[in-house]
A = this chain, B = another copy of it.
Amino acid sequence: MTRKQLVEEIFAKRSYLCVGLDTDVDKIPKHLLETPDPVFQFNKAIIDATKDLCVAYKINTAFYEARGLKGWDEMERTVNYIPSSHFKIADAKRGDIGNTSTQYAKAFFETLNFDAITVAPYMGHDSVLPFLEFKDKWTIVLGLTSNPGASDFELQQLFKKAEVLQEGVHISKTQTGYLYEAVLSKASGWGSPENLMFVIGATQGSEFANIRKLTPHHFYLVPGVGFQGGSLKEISEHALTADCGLLVNVSRAIIYASKKENFAEEAGILAKQYQLEMNNYISTPK
């Protein structure tokens, strides 16, 4: 999917909602467990109930891998069931040396029909570049994540000695910035706003204005709204751009809205609430 197609879809629906299919067989309604194919039936019902209200689905691969072969099959059928109008994200957090990243890219862009994959930046440029070589596919690099562990490394200061020209004289200065800022800055140069996004956790509200300054044109995939407590209002105020620039993911708060027979209807009601709130924030397209 191209950026243009994604932006058009967002403004047509007045929604930048991504629904996260972190489908855990221990958390889905009990009555589904009596059917032969509970995980896929659950996903299918959630997709049917939310597809008019969201523009993207994010599949958390861990929940499917935990179920082995059966889970991989459920993931494949779920991706294929998502309408082609929707942006399909493999939340897989992959990344390895070049020839291995190429294999991961094939797995999610060719063997499975995803539009995008989340990628961990720790190993640097040659672990990310192979994902960027696929036409109309997207690489979503982890920037600043929503979990407490973000403070361990992402929010540590990097040290840099820099030569600065001050009133015609070269002066040696010490510059610092967060590791995640270095990731945003370097990774921005590996791709373009047409094929690269960043994961920015919604729980990092106070950092959003700064982040938007660093990367004014990139889309952000924003997890952490809902169960993890991030504020949709706050991130929208700080990070929305003229062509939206946000995909806000909600997983558990929508898909587990109810454990009763009407779970899909309840999920749809929650998705509608998010869409209505987004409608208030989103600008009119230029």
A81 within 8 A of B: no
What is the minimal beta-carbon distance from A231 to any residue of chain B, in angstroms?
18
Residue count of chain A within 8 Å CB distance of chain B: 62
- The distance from the CB of A98 to the nearest CB of chain B, in whole angstroms, is 7
Q: Tell me how far the C-beta of A124 lies from the nearest C-beta in chain B, rounded to whole angstroms.
A: 2
Is B126 a contact partner of A148 (Cβ separation < 8 A)?
yes
B124 near A66: Cβ-Cβ < 8 Å = no
The answer to whether B156 and A68 touch across the interface, beta carbons within 8 angstroms, is: no
Complex interface bits, A100-117 against B, C-beta within 8 A gives 1, otherwise 0: 110110111011100000
Contact, CB under 8 Å: A120 / B100:
no
Contacts of A54-93 to chain B: CB distance below 8 A: 60, 62-63, 65-69, 72-73, 76, 91, 93
Q: Which residues of B contact A124 (CB under 8 A)?
A: 147-154
- A112–B72 CA distance with the chains assembled, in angstroms: 13
- State whether the Cβ of A260 lies closer than 8 Å to any Cβ in chain B: no
Answer whether residue A146 sits at the interface, using C-beta atoms and an 8 A cutoff.
Answer: yes
On whether the beta carbons of B111 and A68 are closer than 8 Å, the reply is yes
A122 touching B121 by the CB < 8 A rule?
yes
Most B Cβ at <10 Å: residue of A123, A176, A183: A123
A157 located at the interface, meaning its Cβ lies under 8 Å from any Cβ of chain B in the complex = yes
Q: Are A153 and B183 in contact (CB under 8 A)?
A: yes
A95 within 8 A of B: yes
Q: Which residues of B contact A171 (CB under 8 A)?
A: none
- Min CB distance, A144 to chain B, in Å? 10
Q: Are A123 and B154 in contact (CB under 8 A)?
A: yes
Which of B67, B97, B148 is in CB contact (< 8 Å) with A145?
A: B97
CB pair B94 A186 closer than 8 Å? no
Q: List 16 A-B contacts (CB under 8 A).
A: A62-B94, A63-B100, A68-B107, A68-B111, A69-B69, A124-B147, A124-B149, A124-B150, A124-B152, A126-B147, A126-B149, A127-B149, A128-B149, A152-B186, A156-B158, A159-B174
Q: B-contacting residues of A (Cβ < 8 Å)?
A: 22, 24, 60, 62-63, 65-69, 72-73, 76, 91, 93-98, 100-101, 103-104, 106-108, 110-112, 120-128, 142, 145-154, 156-160, 174, 176, 179, 182-183, 186, 228
